[in-house]
Each structure stands twice: as structure tokens, then as C-alpha cells.
Structure 1
Amino acid sequence: MERKSSGMRRRDMLQLTTAALLATTTSPIAWSGQAPTAANSSGDRITRIRHFTVTSKRWKVVGKNSHLDVHGDTATDRLLIINTASGLEGFGSSNPDEADATRLLNKDPLEFFKPGRGIVSPLGRGDAPLWDLTGKIFNEPVWRLLGGYGPATVPVYDGSIYFSDLEPEYRDRGIPRILEEIDYALELGHRAFKIKVGRGYQWMPSAAGLTRDIQVVRAIRAHVGADVKLMVDSNNGYDLATTKRFLEEANIEFFFVEEMFPESVDEDLELKEWIHSRGWATLVADGESARELDHFTPYIQRGAFDVLQGDMRRFGFTELRNLARQAAPAGIRLAPHNWGNYLGLYMQLVLGRGIPNLIMAEQDPANTDLFDASAFELRDGRMRVPDTPGCGLVLRTDRLVDETLNWEIHA
């Protein structure tokens, strides 16, 4: 059985971030420049907004999970670009109605920035472009506007270890094909992996599927050694009893277990107690399907989750920072869900340097040359978050001709 040999355990470390994050409610923004009370007008105005669909390419075909068929080798972002009269440009993940976006035209971008609250605008949760623009107006990185309480390098994991062993082209290679994917990601700098389990939900007979799940995680652990973090995610393909059997027979102390069965405060508490009774430090993570922040309230109040996984693009920077504040007194951390896109990784990284209780960022291995991400660097499982104004990515505007323009509006 794997155990931590020494040092503070993760559950104790969670408590150390509480005071720092709670301070953001009274000291809501860490400033190196202009004070927020003097920053209510930029003297600029929004003159042009464009909305694109951006397709990025994965290096591999991502296979099935417990509920869905093959995920393929592409991912999709909805990109909103906002230009101002002075020539500034803010961009990011956002998918508003054209009518809502029209309400931004001729407005001062700082009209939507509320110190201590975040971005409040017609874009709603799709606030990334306005955060990016606000950072550029202040000549500040967005992570500093969010608080600046996180580390300069944020832990990242590869979330793409799906059921490759079940695909026809790899079936004769089976588990070794999954190990090849692990090796490729290790070369890229990853030191943490989330492994999909739940083959017996629909793709294999139940008992055989559980056996294969156990074989896969054991093979990966043996292959990568003890220093690489492993997580598992069944996409609600197990029930509580099957989760316990899987963990017992796998005999691996995972960093966290995610969506092992449909969310239930009582059953998640039972799972946590069962994990503790075995002396494991494994964390319980869930919440990616949540549509409103109130969904998390009973889980926070009763301590049913160790890690909250509100979707990065669904909630945006402002609401996930609010969720982090709610979670901090209970020592609960965030690992936002992120899949099927390129931009979500960089949003998580900015958030992770802004708040003190983001435990890890999820990467979909999608890539595109539309953005210059060279200021971000993955090394030994952590990605450096740059100090550049805005969100840190550079948009190569000359390459927008290769993407799909959905609409464009002007003042």
C-alpha cells in the first residue's frame, strides 16, 4: 500500500490557505499600480467586437469514457475579441448572444470592473475577454487583479487518459497503448495524470470492465513510479460499493478521485470516512456538472467534497473566485473542470495564480497556432504563469482568417 512517508498531509495543508483567501474579501485586489478607487474610468470605449469558433488539434485521438463514445482529435473554443478606440484588444473564451454583446459598444471597459466583486457585464459568466482587457488597461496581469495569492507556477495534470485500449486500432496493444500516451505526456513535462475508469458501465461486461480498470491503473503506477500523481474519474460510471471495491483492489493511494458515482452528500461523506479509515490521503473531488454556485453549498457546509470542480468556462473567473472564497473556511480547494477546449487551461492557470486554493489545473492536449503561449512553460508538472498584462496569451490576429467568424459588430 502506498503511503506518504513524512511531512504535512494534504488535508492539513488545505487549512493554510484559508486566511489568505478570506483576506480577498476585505483586501479584494493586490495592486502594484493605480488604486481601485481611482480606476473607475479609462477614458476609452469599446468600438468593435468579434466572435469566432476556433478549432484546435490534439496529438492523438481521445477515446471513450464510461458514458460517451470516442472524443476524437479536435477541440473547440468560442473566442470573443473586444477592441477599443485607443487600440487595446481583450480576448478570451466567451459565447454571448450578439444582442448582449452589443450592449458593450461605446462603453468604457472599466464600467464593468467592480473592485472586490470582479467583472459584472452583459457577458455574464463569459467574462474572460473583459478581464483580459481590464488587465491591459491597468498594465497588470489578471492574476494580480484576482488577488495575486497563488504560486508563480501552478500544478497541471493531463486529463486525456481515456479508454484507448478499447479502440479497434489499438485493441491488439491494449494497456501498452495507454502507457505510450503516458510516456509522450511525461516528455512534455507532465507529472500528474487523470485516468478514466468505468469501462463496465456500458463498454464491457461489468465485472470484466472493473478488472480492466484495476489492471490499467496498476500498470500506470508501476510504469511511472511513486512520484507521479495519479487521479481517477469514472464519470459517474460506478456506484459507492463499486468505488470502494475498485479502490481496495487497486491498492493505490490516488491524489484524488473524481465523479466516482452520482453526487450525494451522504454517500460522499461515507466515501470520505471509508478512505480515512484506511489511512489514505486521497481527496474526493466532484461538481463539474453544477450549473449554479448554490449547487455546492450543501457539500461545502457538510464537508462532503475536498475539491470542487466547477467548470472553468461555464462559471468564468469572477464566479469561480467567489466559489473559492466560499470554500476556503472549510479548507476546500478548487480543481476546475476543463475539457474540449484550448483556452480553458490558461484560464485555470491565471485563476490559480490569483487565488490560494486552486489545487491543480486540467489540460486537454489540444493545440493551435492562433495563440502564442510561449510565456507559459510546463516543467516538472507545473506551469509558469507570466507577469504580462492581461491573461498572458498573445493572439496572432493574422491567423484569424483560418477560423470561423460567427458575427462582428461595431460602434
Structure 2
Amino acid sequence: MKRRNFIQTVSGGAAAAYLAANPLLGFSGAHSAQARELSEHTIDQVLTKRVRIQYPRFVSKNAIRGNHGWGYDETICEVVTNQGAKGWGVTLWGRSAEEASAHLVGKKVSEVFAPELGLIEPKGAYADIALHDLAGKILNKPVYELMGAKQPETTVCYSGMIYFDDLTPFYNQPMGVDIILKECQFDYDLGYRQFKLKIGRGNKWMPKAAGIKRDIEVTKLVAEAFPDCDILVDGNDGYPLEDFEQYLKGIEGVKLFWIEEPFRETIEDYTKLRALLKEMGIETLLADGEASPDQDFLMQLMEARLMDVHLTDIQDIGYTGWRKLMPELKRLKVFASPHAWGSQIKTNAVAHLTGAYGNTVTIEGVTCISDDVDLGNYRLENGKLIPSSAPGFGMQLNK
């Protein structure tokens, strides 16, 4: 099932149609009270804005993509009601603001959103995350409480910002592997106790043999320098199976928390990888589903016990999609870790989702600053991210 169909499926269904037609019916107690309060707000505007995200350091290459730079401009959606309530969040990829406006403006919030389900108007998916924030602010609840958790489960959070910065020219000279250790120390001082190392230097940026050697060197150095931290590795589909075996042999003795997307996933190759890990006595998690995910195929991998952690990006299937997916992952005994690369805006939003639903092994941390956004009172303590208890996602726009 492709992304658009999947979003429509998880956002729709008989319950959603019933709620859309009868927003104040079918619930009792707190549910009906929330619906009544949301029904007092009519959506006036669906706005698109751009906010500038800055990273604390230059972010270099991964196995397939060039330098990521100092930051980027993120597209966000803001929903405004006739009473002046505002909610915002990152948008869903592949959906349009025009479609959302056509199907949301003029409707009561309760007609398009239910705290118990999420989005109930599939064609408003562009504003899915913004509507969660809006409902939380109207109801004066953090999003995790909106989804039923009085206190969220704190989630382990890894640093997702360890790229190939050793290959970035600095005054016409490579910076070398020491820069990776300095960056890990910087992130350690921020509170991270897990580091995800990008690997696959030999895919595009170095000769293959030299790239594998450098990947091995970096992995071993970080593991030795930070013995109290977990090491995750991410090949971004740039590491053929035969080369990945060489890498694994080269880091013998280093415990990997997870292996993420070493190569483009197939049943055959992942079966071989599972067998290789068993033969080498390596106990680790296999994480996949970030890059252009085919949800039907990912389901096949999970049912075959070839995938341990589901990574689809929060901007791909949205909050409502993930809320539908979470129970399925629990049934399949697969962990969740909604992909959040890009900015802390996404990391913070994911923290509420995983805090409410649990079953999450770790989430991606992307440290950033922004003059356009107040990122709220989230705390990273001893490797765990504690969500804001302010209404909605607890983040505010400064523009």
C-alpha cells in the first residue's frame, strides 16, 4: 500500500465517518465534554509558513546525500479558529495546503478531529499534526494527555547528528576522525547517551576499501571513548550486504544497539543478514522503514520477523497514521521509532506520541535552535527526553 492510500486508510474507516457526521455523539463523560468544547471552535484559516532551523554545528554527508549544512527552512502549517485559538506543526509530505483548506475551513474542530482517534477528515492530512496541537491548546492539555496518558513514558533519545564530518574540508584539509569524538562529547554534555553513527563512506565519498576502514575506525573509537553509551549505525541503504559483512567483522567486540537501513531492504537480503548476525553471535535490532516506505512490504518484513523497529517518518504518515499503526506494532512485537530527522520540532512532537503509546525503543534527537520558534520546556536528562506538559506540543511560533 503506497503512502497516500495508507494515510487515507488509517485516517478513515467507519468510526471516523461516524464521528464526522456525529461529532457530539457516541461518547460519554470526558469524551463528550471534549467534543463539545472542540465544537465551539470553527476553523477560519489553514496557513502555511516557513521557519528557519539552525543546527549547533555544520552537518556533513551521509552515504547517499551531500552536506546537510547549518540548517534549513521548515514548512509548517498553522490552523486558526474563529475564537483565535492556534495550533501548528510540520506538514505531511505529498499533501497540499489547498486541499486541507478546502476540507477544513468553515468546519467545527470536532467535525474534523477527535482526541480519541486523531484526524477524521482524511483530506485535511496536511494539517494533521497542527490539529493535534490545536486540540491540545483548546482543551488545555499536552498532546500526550489528549491521547490518554496522564503522565508520559519518558523515551530514550539518541543523537542523530553524527554524520561524515571527518570528510568535510576545513581550510582545504580533511577534519579527521577527532571531530567525530568532539561532536559526540558535545552531544554527551547535552544529555545524550546514545549516538547514531552514519556509515557507508565508501558508497560515494571514499574508495570502497578506505571507506569501510574509516567506518570501522570511527565506530570503534566512539565505542571506546563512550563506554556508557549505546552505538547505533545507519547505512542509508549505501552498504551492500557483502561489504557490510566486512564492516561487522571489523568492529568485532563492539555492541550495536541497532543497525538501520544498511542496504535497500528485500526479504532475501534481510534473511541473509539475520543469518549472518546469528552466525557471528551479534545481538542487535534491525531498524527500517524510513526511506520511501512501502507499508505493505514493511508489514511483510515484520511478519517474517526480519524487522525489529519501524522507522517511517512522522511527516510521511502523520500523527493519525502512527496512532493507527502503534497497536499493530505491539501485536507484531515490533518497536516504534518514528523518524524525526530535520529538527527538534519533529523530535518534540514524536516524544508526545511515544510517551502516550509506549512500545518505543528510542527516538531520534535533532538538536537545533530557531529565532522563529520557541521549542518549549523539553528536557533531556541522562539520555531520556521528557516532553513538555504545556498545552498542545508546548511550542510557540515567534512569527
Map 1:160-309 to 2 at 5 A. 160-169=161-170, 171-225=173-227, 227-251=228-252, 252-309=254-311
Distance 2:136 2:294 in 1: 27
Deviation at 1:90, TM superposition (A): 0.9
Tell me, what secondary structure is at the counterpart of 1:123? helix
Distance 1:261 1:63 in 2: 20
Distance 1:125 1:271 in 2: 37
Q: What does residue 392 of structure 1 align with?
A: 394
Deviation at 1:34, TM superposition (A): 5.1
Q: Does 1:50 pair with 2:51?
A: no
Distance 2:119 2:322 in 1: 12
Q: Does 1:35 pair with 2:35?
A: no
Q: What does residue 7 of structure 1 align with?
A: none
Letter in 1 for 2:100: A
Identity over aligned pairs, percent: 30
Does the 8 Å CA contact 1:154/1:349 hold for their aligned counterparts?
Answer: yes
Does the 8 Å CA contact 1:345/1:363 hold for their aligned counterparts?
Answer: yes
Gaps of 5+ in 1: 1-32, 401-411
Letter in 2 for 1:120: I
Deviation at 1:38, TM superposition (A): 4.6
* CA deviations over 1:265-292 (Å, ceiling 9, x no partner): 2322332233234443310011102445
Distance 2:347 2:135 in 1: 20
Deviation at 1:35, TM superposition (A): 2.4
Q: What does residue 91 of structure 1 align with?
A: 88
Distance 1:133 1:117 in 2: 15
* CA deviations over 1:217-271 (Å, ceiling 9, x no partner): 111111111x201100111111122222211211211100001011012322332
Q: What does residue 74 of structure 1 align with?
A: 71
Letter in 2 for 1:82: V
RMSD (Å), alpha carbons: 2.1
CA spacing shift, 1:263–1:149, aligned 2, 3 Å: farther
CA spacing shift, 1:206–1:62, aligned 2, 3 Å: same
Does the 8 Å CA contact 1:235/1:259 hold for their aligned counterparts?
Answer: yes
* CA deviations over 1:80-101 (Å, ceiling 9, x no partner): 1111122211111126534223
Tell me, what secondary structure is at the counterpart of 2:178? helix
Distance 1:289 1:126 in 2: 22
Deviation at 1:37, TM superposition (A): 4.0
Q: Which of residues 60, 70, 82 is equivalent to 1:63?
A: 60
CA spacing shift, 1:303–1:146, aligned 2, 3 Å: farther
**Structure 1, 241-250 or 150-159: larger mean CA deviation:** 150-159
**Structure 1, 149-158 or 329-338: larger mean CA deviation:** 149-158
CA spacing shift, 1:117–1:392, aligned 2, 3 Å: same
Task: Provide the TM-score with structure 2 as the length reference.
Answer: 0.85
Letter in 2 for 1:363: G
Deviation at 1:351, TM superposition (A): 1.0
Letter in 2 for 1:85: N
Distance 2:68 2:273 in 1: 30
Does the 8 Å CA contact 1:150/1:356 hold for their aligned counterparts?
Answer: no
Map 1:132-143 to 2 at 5 A. 132-143=133-144
Distance 1:192 1:84 in 2: 41
Does the 8 Å CA contact 2:96/2:126 hold for their aligned counterparts?
Answer: no
CA spacing shift, 1:149–1:263, aligned 2, 3 Å: farther
Distance 2:127 2:43 in 1: 17
Gaps of 5+ in 2: 1-27
Q: Which of residues 339, 351, 354 is equivalent to 2:353?
A: 351
CA spacing shift, 1:347–1:115, aligned 2, 3 Å: closer
* CA deviations over 1:301-335 (Å, ceiling 9, x no partner): 11110001101111111111222221112210111
Letter in 1 for 2:221: A
Q: Does 1:363 pair with 2:365?
A: yes
Does the 8 Å CA contact 1:141/1:392 hold for their aligned counterparts?
Answer: yes
The structure where helix makes up a greater share of residues is 2
Q: Which has the higher contact order (CA 8 A, sep 6+)?
A: 1
Task: Provide the TM-score with structure 1 as the length reference.
Answer: 0.83
Deviation at 1:140, TM superposition (A): 2.2
Deviation at 1:370, TM superposition (A): 2.5
Distance 2:116 2:79 in 1: 23
Q: Which of residues 307, 311, 314 is equivalent to 2:313?
A: 311
Tell me, what secondary structure is at the counterpart of 1:272? helix
* CA deviations over 1:155-179 (Å, ceiling 9, x no partner): 1111111111111117454000111
In the alignment of these two chains, the number of paired residues is 364
Distance 1:235 1:314 in 2: 17
**Structure 1, 38-47 or 56-65: larger mean CA deviation:** 38-47
Q: Does 1:108 pair with 2:103?
A: no
Tell me, what secondary structure is at the counterpart of 1:54? strand
Distance 1:146 1:275 in 2: 38
